[in-house]
Structure formats: structure tokens, C-alpha cells
């Protein structure tokens, strides 16, 4: 079973992916693939440029998405015997990867939480986070496509309970 895991910047996708991994899922992290393809310095420079220039962002996505999709396809092929494979990708829907998934899980939280979390985890200003959010599909639209929504505004324990409930559904 191939599951898509998505949400917007700062919603807690990585935390949720780790929880699924601990339950036995094989997780493919699209961000880690991008990090392997681009070194940190070039990612920082690209981030500064593309989030101020929509055409540059589209150009970058047109170049990098096929490479990431190819890596994901190879990983799926290598792990085809696994019962649950999760594709953790912030732009899963935007780049069409959701079409390869049997179920879609969207991780959501308040905009305030997103901005605070992303600012801390990425080490960028809240203003820079807002710029990035504006470039992504709105979270409400992602939620419309979801089979499952994880409300990640509460405690880690509450999130863990939601993940376990969804995991039980996957096992059926």
C-alpha cells in the first residue's frame, strides 16, 4: 500500500512520518532526496531567490520534480515487499505524486503554529515563512483531497493517537 503524506510548511509532516516509521512503515522523504540532489549552500541561495520570483520557482520545480519522482519510483521498486510505503512530500499534490498513492494523509495545524514551527526549524524569519506559505497550495485545499487529516495542533501524544488510528485503518 502506497500512502501519500503531505501538508504545508511547519505542519509537522516529519514528526508524523517518524511516527509511521516506528509503527513499521517504510518512509520515503522527498525533502531528503532534494537535500541529496542539492547541497545546503545552493538550497539556501535558491530559497532566497525562488520564493521572491514565482517564475524562478516554477522553473526550479520543473527541473527538480522529475528527479525526485524518479528517486521515489526507484525506492518504491526496491521496497515493493513492504506492506506500507509512505511518500512524505510537502508538494505531493502539486507535483502529481498523489496519483500514485492509494490513500492521502494530510497533516494540518493552525497558521500561527505553522509559522512559528517553520521559523524555528528552518532558521528563517516569520516573514520568510509567510512568503513560502504563499507559494504553496493552501492547506484547506490539501485537506479537501485527504482520506485522513491529522490535526497536529495538540500534544505529541494526541498526534501519536491519531497516527495509530490511521495505521490500524491501513492494516485492514
**C-alpha dihedral, 32 to 37 to 40 to 45, nearest 10°:** -120
What predicted TM-score, i.e. pTM, was given to this entire model? 0.90
- What nine digits make up the cell of 78? 526496491
- Nearest 5°: the CA angle 106, 33, 153 is 25
Instruction: Dump strand ranges (E) for the chain.
Output: 2-7, 26-29, 85-88, 103-108, 148-151
Q: How far is 20 from 26, CA to CA, in rounded Å?
A: 8
From first to last of its 172 residues, the chain has per-residue pLDDT tens of 999 999 999 999 999 999 999 999 999 999 999 888 886 667 666 766 667 777 877 887 888 889 999 999 999 999 989 999 999 999 899 889 999 999 999 999 999 999 999 999 888 889 989 988 888 899 999 999 999 999 999 999 999 999 999 999 998 7
Amino acid at each position: 500500500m502506497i500512502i501519500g503524506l503531505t501538508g504545508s510548511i511547519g505542519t509537522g509532516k516529519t514528526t508524523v512520518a517518524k511516527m509511521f516509521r516506528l509503527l513499521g512503515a517504510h518512509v520515503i522523504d522527498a525533502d531528503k532526496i532534494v537535500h541529496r540532489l542539492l547541497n545546503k549552500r545552493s538550497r539556501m541561495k535558491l530559497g532566497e531567490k525562488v520564493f521572491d520570483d514565482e517564475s524562478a520557482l516554477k522553473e526550479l520545480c520543473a527541473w527538480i520534480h522529475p528527479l525526485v519522482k524518479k528517486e521515489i519510483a526507484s525506492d518504491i521498486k526496491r521496497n515493493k515487499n513492504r506492506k506500507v510505503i509512505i511518500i512524505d512530500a510537502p508538494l505531493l499534490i502539486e507535483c502529481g505524486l498523489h496519483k500514485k498513492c492509494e490513500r492521502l494523509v494530510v497533516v494540518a495545524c493552525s497558521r500561527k503554529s505553522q509559522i512559528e514551527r517553520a521559523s524555528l526549524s528552518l532558521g528563517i524569519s516569520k516573514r520568510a515563512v509567510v512568503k513560502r506559505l504563499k507559494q504553496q497550495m493552501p492547506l484547506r485545499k490539501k485537506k479537501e483531497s485527504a482520506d485522513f487529516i491529522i490535526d497536529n495542533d495538540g500534544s505529541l501524544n494526541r498526534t501519536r493517537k491519531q497516527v495509530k488510528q490511521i495505521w490500524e485503518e491501513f492494516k485492514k
